[in-house]
Structure 1
Amino acid sequence: MPRHPLALTAWAALSAAAADQQGGETDGAGRGGGCLVWLHSDSEGRLPSLLALAERLEREDGVACLLTLPAEAAARPTCAAALASGAIRPSLRPVPSEAPAAVQAFLDRWRPDAAVWCGGGLRPNLLARAARAGLPLVLAEGAPNPRLLAQGGWMPGLSAAVVPLFARALVTGRVSADRLARAGLPPERIELRPPLEAPPVVLPCNERERRDLAALIGARPVWLAADLPLSELAQVAAAHRLASRAAHRLLLLIAPRDPDEGSAMARGLTEAGLRVALRAEGAEPEEDAAVYLADGTGETGLWLRLAPVAYLGGTLPGGPGGRHPFEAAALGSALIHGPVTAPHTGAWGRLDAAGGARAVRNGVELGHAVESLLAPDRAAASARAAWDIATEGAETLNRLHDLVRAALDGALR
């Protein structure tokens, strides 16, 4: 039981007196038959992970899902695009305001059987009424910062009244675990887990093409500049020349970010004194070719399987940013990147800390990093560390799925 139920009563009274009724259920939408799991995030950044959980619940368990986000996040086009790109399209709604009428209308309309709350931004009225209705609550990546509550954090005892409502909490660090424990969540309900991540996308590959190209490349050392913008070509060419001094016959694979820039890249590489073979013209990575230029990023999965070392383009100073690093990590590549890590700063930081990636500032440092990682033992150690980081979030997703199943079966009630 919460230690401070009077704080919840006082907060409910204050919320009832407020004029803001935003978030009420007014459009007639509602749930269908069968089980429904309510998934909420305090930000759209966790949407891919929740979509992965929703897809698994529907595919493996036949359970439908409702997704909620803060109203301003739910209205962004990126959220609609994320839903449209998924294998399933669960309902996406703005989370109701704390006004009691809006909360009750939401719960009456959807009648969820279990709930997962990701992040902080806890809403006292909403969670308390859900708990009183017998809804088992699971907190994932909770208490990431001192602002645990979305509203009412100034009210004494309110956090301690809300946090114990959760049947289980998965948190990413001891600081977060301690914060929840101080708010009254029993230690046996708290589990330390890696950050929640959707399983990395395994990029496809034509296996016959891979075998043929691998036979042509043979024992030559090889590295990849993936998703490369034209603006970074000169630095990548300089890096290749530097690394080639220590690795005779070194082959560079380039997958241009923009296929239309392929001809300009070929000219630039030739002017830099590098012999280029163009895949778009049917050429192959023959022995005398220093660079094999692909015709876009559509075969990135193929190039990652051929190159044990990969620089992910767009990340050098002034670059536009790059693709998610876990795609490459999932295929066993040792990764290199520049300082421009947005929008995947968190993922790159975890890879760097674990030794699964190397950060460079310019073409010279890129060349030295390539030279170092061409040593098989170093590339293997880095690739293994990257693999571990890229897949550990999927383990957390598995555990969250297990907890939802337990909640639906009544074990967490």
Structure 2
Amino acid sequence: MSKPRSLSLAAYRVLSWGMRNSVGQHTNLPRPEGELLWVHVATPGRLRAVNDFCHRMLQVRSDLNFVLTTPPDTDLDSWPQHDFLLVNLPQDQSGAVRGFLDHWRPSMGLWVGGDLMPNILTRADEHNIPLVLFDAQFSVTLARSARWLPDITRATFDCFQHVMTASPETARQIRRLGIPSAKVHESPPLRISPNPRPWPEDELIETNHTLAGRPVWLAAWVQDKEFISVLTAHRQALRMLHRLVLVLHVADELEVGPLKRRLETMDLRCVNWDAGEEIEDTTQVILTSDPENLGLWCRVSTVTFMASSLERGAGGRDPSESIALGSAIIYGPFVHRHDALYSQLRQAGAAKQVKTATELGDALIELLAPDLAAGMALAGWQMITEGAPQADALIEMVQDILDQRSAEHAGT
């Protein structure tokens, strides 16, 4: 049953007709069949955690579809990498938001962050779309002409079945609006919580046996412009650690053959793992380009250098899986796609930044001391897994709401 709406909301909707009507690019995209979870991401810094959450949802509800939205007029090209459909919401104008909801027909909506938009949220509520607010901020985006209207903020927050916020003060502000206390919960913000795919234990044991206790480091997602820096650092470290092995994961598989010939001219003994070549006691470099193999080599390597970061252009790679698998992290200065995460890791003592090949070699020699690498790996693991309980609780909540909605539709 729909909630009674205030005169302020009716007035707001009339005033919003004067806003620019941007229907948005979503009208050109087909709605997938089946259940669809609409997730609104208020700021770029939350997208990685939302992307991770969606992957975790698929593990328990494999047929679920997603549409992720950003605030209107956002430049999507400037947002971090993601694996799900990402579109701008239209302006909070009555006709535009009706078009969005009629096109996508979400089974449920999850709003992550602040800048709540009254029209789309109240319209979704009237369409009986269950809504949950996570990482709530006391922030509602109103048209300038409507800011004098009372009760709009309350009507907007009242659309949500559950409101979660990390801030006790925000929770108090929301309750003061008259939102029932049972709806409002204090909860840490959504964070990444990687869940790496298991690796066959027999292959892991065999690889470790073949390496016979030799120190191993991994350079992952290495661009061609970074080859010489990585190899120079490896040569530098070999002077101190004579049995050191480099696993060089090449970002472009077409570079593996030329790189192998280059290594041979440099008198670095190498094998192509993807071609089935055997690791020998004299092997100094193991070449691979298959991303699937990173699950093995992150487990084997004490230290991982996250490449695509030492030269401008690539913008860095997500280190989450390497950290979750127990590796200490080194990275270069050009990681703008994941800058917030690397900053958090560095502050937690779980990652070290380098700017040159010499600094990379020095960092390798330093971090391959077992106690130091283990301490960094533990700090990273603790930071990156602390979001698991929040993600699990949210997944369970979404599951319950979708199951209830499915049962209601089945009964009609």
Aligned to 1:325: 319
Note the C-alpha offset of 1:211. 2.8
Which residue identity lines up with residue 191 of structure 1 in the other structure? E
Is 1:366 matched with 2:360?
A: yes
Is 1:155 matched with 2:155?
A: no
Note the C-alpha offset of 1:18. 4.4
The alignment's TM-score, normalised by the length of structure 2, stands at 0.75
Is 1:303 matched with 2:297?
A: yes
In structure 2, stretches of 5+ residues that fail to align are 406-412
- Identify which of 315, 321, 342 aligns with 2:309: 315
Structure 1's 111 and 300: CA in aligned 2 closer, same or farther, altered over 3 A? closer
Aligned to 2:187: 192
CA contact (8 A) 2:27 2:103 kept: no
Structure 1's 366 and 105: CA in aligned 2 closer, same or farther, altered over 3 A? closer
**Distance in 2 between the 1:203 and 1:402 partners?**
21
Report the identity percentage.
Answer: 32
Which residue identity lines up with residue 39 of structure 1 in the other structure? V
Q: CA RMSD in A?
A: 4.4
- Identify which of 365, 373, 377 aligns with 2:371: 377
- Identify which of 234, 239, 251 aligns with 2:233: 239
**Distance in 1 between the 2:163 and 2:250 partners?**
43
CA contact (8 A) 1:68 1:74 kept: no
Q: Name the SS for the 1:225 alignment partner.
A: strand
CA contact (8 A) 1:334 1:356 kept: yes
CA contact (8 A) 2:187 2:390 kept: no
Aligned to 1:264: 258
Q: Name the SS for the 1:397 alignment partner.
A: helix
Q: Name the SS for the 1:384 alignment partner.
A: helix
- Identify which of 58, 61, 65 aligns with 1:58: 61
Structure 1's 167 and 310: CA in aligned 2 closer, same or farther, altered over 3 A? same
* Residues 63-142 of structure 1: pairs in structure 2 closer than 5 A: 68-69=69-70, 82-83=83-84, 95=89, 97-103=91-97, 114-131=108-125, 136-142=130-136
**Distance in 2 between the 1:49 and 1:115 partners?**
17
CA contact (8 A) 1:38 1:114 kept: yes
Aligned to 2:21: 20
CA contact (8 A) 1:205 1:302 kept: yes
Structure 1's 279 and 5: CA in aligned 2 closer, same or farther, altered over 3 A? same
- Identify which of 245, 248, 264 aligns with 1:254: 248
Which residue identity lines up with residue 323 of structure 1 in the other structure? R
Is 1:334 matched with 2:328?
A: yes
Which residue identity lines up with residue 328 of structure 2 in the other structure? A
What whole-Å deviation, never above 9, does each CA across 1:157-216 have from its counterpart, x for those lacking one? 55455345444333456787688678776787142314343x536256454443332112
Moved more, 124-133 or 336-345: 124-133
Structure 1's 137 and 277: CA in aligned 2 closer, same or farther, altered over 3 A? closer
CA contact (8 A) 1:284 1:292 kept: no
Structure 1's 405 and 73: CA in aligned 2 closer, same or farther, altered over 3 A? same
CA contact (8 A) 1:24 1:106 kept: no
What whole-Å deviation, never above 9, does each CA across 1:255-293 have from its counterpart, x for those lacking one? 211222224333444555533344366543322232223
Structure 1's 57 and 99: CA in aligned 2 closer, same or farther, altered over 3 A? farther
**Distance in 2 between the 1:327 and 1:21 partners?**
39
Aligned to 2:196: 202
Q: Name the SS for the 1:293 alignment partner.
A: strand
Moved more, 208-217 or 331-340: 208-217
Q: Name the SS for the 2:361 alignment partner.
A: helix
**Distance in 2 between the 1:21 and 1:258 partners?**
40
- Identify which of 347, 354, 360 aligns with 2:348: 354
Q: Name the SS for the 1:138 alignment partner.
A: strand
Structure 1's 161 and 383: CA in aligned 2 closer, same or farther, altered over 3 A? same
- Identify which of 221, 227, 238 aligns with 2:215: 221
CA contact (8 A) 2:168 2:186 kept: no
Aligned to 1:41: 41
Note the C-alpha offset of 1:56. 5.4
Count of residue correspondences: 394
Structure 1's 316 and 32: CA in aligned 2 closer, same or farther, altered over 3 A? closer
Structure 1's 168 and 233: CA in aligned 2 closer, same or farther, altered over 3 A? same
Note the C-alpha offset of 1:349. 2.3
Q: Name the SS for the 1:336 alignment partner.
A: strand
Moved more, 167-176 or 209-218: 167-176
Note the C-alpha offset of 1:315. 0.9
**Distance in 2 between the 1:193 and 1:366 partners?**
35
In structure 1, stretches of 5+ residues that fail to align are 85-91
What whole-Å deviation, never above 9, does each CA across 1:228-265 have from its counterpart, x for those lacking one? 12211222222223333443422212121122222433
